[in-house]
Chain A
Amino acid sequence: MKRILIYLLPLLLLAGCAKDFSEDINSIGDKMTELWTHGQGGSDDPIVFLQEVDYSAFVSLPTLYDRFSACSAPESLINDKTTRALGLSILHYPLNSLILAYNYYDSAVKTVYDNSPLHRALAARKDAAEALVGIFENTRIDKGAVLVAKDYEEITLVDELFLEYYLGSGLVKGLDKGSNKERMKAAVTKKRDERLADPELNGALTLIPLAYLSERLGLGVQFSTDIVNTMHQFIEDN
């Protein structure tokens, strides 16, 4: 009898843990359902993600599959949003931080694009380039922002970097055409000058994505030789 209990006890404990874990998952699932159903605003409002309402629940999800699932807004919700709302939504996309996990930033962007209906739907909109240029013109790095940005203009460094690499990835068509190109050039020049003037932002980390954007879109914005060489080395390395 004792031996049976010795063998059974760990199994019972494991079963107890598994039950708790499944309850957690179910609890997050319930939250997601609630969020997608009732937690979103109107068509012009950006999508609200789980990370913004329950950060700890989001980071408790163990795999990227889980996290992409938690970020995957229903198709009906995406279709209901305007292009600008979708563009603003990607600023707060919880997995923008994946940009940190890759040395080859295009891989990070592609991973998100392949797994996010939001990013694919946005890139497929005909007016995506125009909407994204308008958003990009107004974003600034909030040096005090932490894990979640306060609004859609003062955003975290990670969100800004992801946006810049997303725009430079070639997934969104039309950024290098007509007035969009001129506006992008002006925005990149303005951001370059702001970052160069700010001792806390004047570094390769923040300047290389702008140089990358300039090169990929053919904007012709000038950067120092060091930045350009480092960028080219980074591209060649990958």
Chain B
Amino acid sequence: MKTDNHNDWTDAFRESFPEEARPAAGGWEAVAGRMRRAAARRRAAVAAAVLALPVAGGVFFLTPRTDNREPEIAVKEAPVVVAEVPDIVTDVPELVTDIRELVADIPVRPKPARNTVPAEVTAPTEVTAPVITDRVADVQPSRNDTPATPGTIPVVPRETKEPVVTANVDWNDSAFEDYPDAVTGKASGGRRLTIGLGAGTMAGGAPAATTMTSMANSMPTKSSSNNFWNNTSGVVFQHNYVHDFPRSLGLFASYGLTDRISLESGLDFTRLHSKLDGIHTVMHFAGIPLRVNVNLFSAGPMEVYAGAGGKAEKCLKATIGGMEYNEPKIQWSGSALLGAQARITRSAYLYLQPEFSYYFTKTRLASYRTENRFGLTVNAGLRFSFAKN
């Protein structure tokens, strides 16, 4: 695009309007100001979206957990606290009561056949000091028993070979590691199914104000100005033609194939909108993606993954200027992505997923995609991971 003729074509455009249709004094400046403000708002929205995930992840990662059930229980493999605790607890019997209440509130999750050996405690029926073990199960049954004397916690007798309740406290870090990766859907305990809800939009500069690139290999390139487009050799067109960024919303599911690899598919809906001299072109697509994701690495609650795949999309409805138009062809595209996600609860993840895609087929109506067959899409959303038994 020529930049040195900017004033020429700006003036030419303004002069193209009939005298009576020209804005009042200051009108052109007001239009230019509105365009600048709109562009600034778009840039701010994209920047906010890009920053949202790392900020959320950082807050989650750096903020100490305040859940009072977690640190005090300090569930570890060995009941090594036995020797140290009595001095504290016997002096503060109320604390024992608190601990019992905490233990009573602990949600339990059945988890058979893993480290099920009960704590090796030579247990009297009652002890004057609590015995804290890695097995909540060991103490859980006492909830419904005869209330223990304050300051004491009943302990399962040694001769009990089978765990009374095989429950595990799994909100500590070591237990967190047992939870599945929402990308691969794979956990040590078995494969997982992951459901995701996401939204995305194409990213880039300003919405395309261009035309006819679809059949051009050396021609019209995007103009940096919204209402003007030209070809590479500088022919200036002056139709008000803008392609908005596509917007998508989708629901996805993935299934872990291995520890690191998962297969993902789903259904998404995309809206494409363009405007030519006040005539709106709108297309609605339903798409079915299929891709393979690979977990690259994890750090705390953050995980980074990559993926590649393809998508088939069918136009559900297309209109131009209110007139319906038939878009019969399936749109095929391929994509490669790099994503990051942060665990926000035990089974929920917030993700941000930049995705490079290329559209092999074109719609008959011009759109952002046909003018930008290779593009960057930024998707973000939530994933939920569920056990698959």
Contact = CB atoms under 8 A, between A and B. Distances in A.
A107 B239 contact: no
Residue among B16, B211, B239, B279 having the largest count of chain A Cβ atoms under 10 Å: B279
A208 interface: yes
A158 B216 contact: no
The secondary-structure label for the interface of chain B is loop
A27 to B, nearest CB: 13
Contact of A203 (B21, B231, B238, B364): B231
A204 B321 contact: no
A98 B277 CA distance: 9
A61 B278 CA distance: 8
B235 A143 contact: yes
A168 B68 CA distance: 78
A203 B322 contact: no
Contacts of A65: 321-323
Contact of B320 (A64, A147, A230): A64
B12 interface: yes
Interface residues of A, number: 46
How large, as a class, is the contact surface on chain B? 35 or more
Interface in A54-90: 54-56, 59-65, 67
Contacts of B215: 103, 204-205, 208, 230-231, 233-234
A59 B277 contact: yes
A172 to B, nearest CB: 22
Contact of B217 (A98, A147, A198, A204): A204
Contacts of A63: 279, 321-323
A56 B21 contact: yes
| Interface SS of A by simple majority | helix
A156 to B, nearest CB: 8
B22 to A, nearest CB: 9
Interface of A: 53-56, 59-65, 67, 97-98, 100-104, 107, 111, 141, 143-144, 146-148, 157-158, 198-206, 208, 226, 230-231, 233-234, 237-238
Interface of B: 12-13, 15-18, 20-21, 211-212, 214-220, 231-239, 241, 274, 276-279, 281, 320-323, 325, 361-366, 370
21 contacts: A54-B20, A55-B18, A56-B17, A56-B18, A62-B322, A64-B323, A65-B322, A100-B366, A103-B370, A107-B325, A146-B16, A147-B16, A147-B238, A158-B237, A200-B233, A201-B233, A202-B233, A203-B218, A208-B215, A230-B216, A237-B361
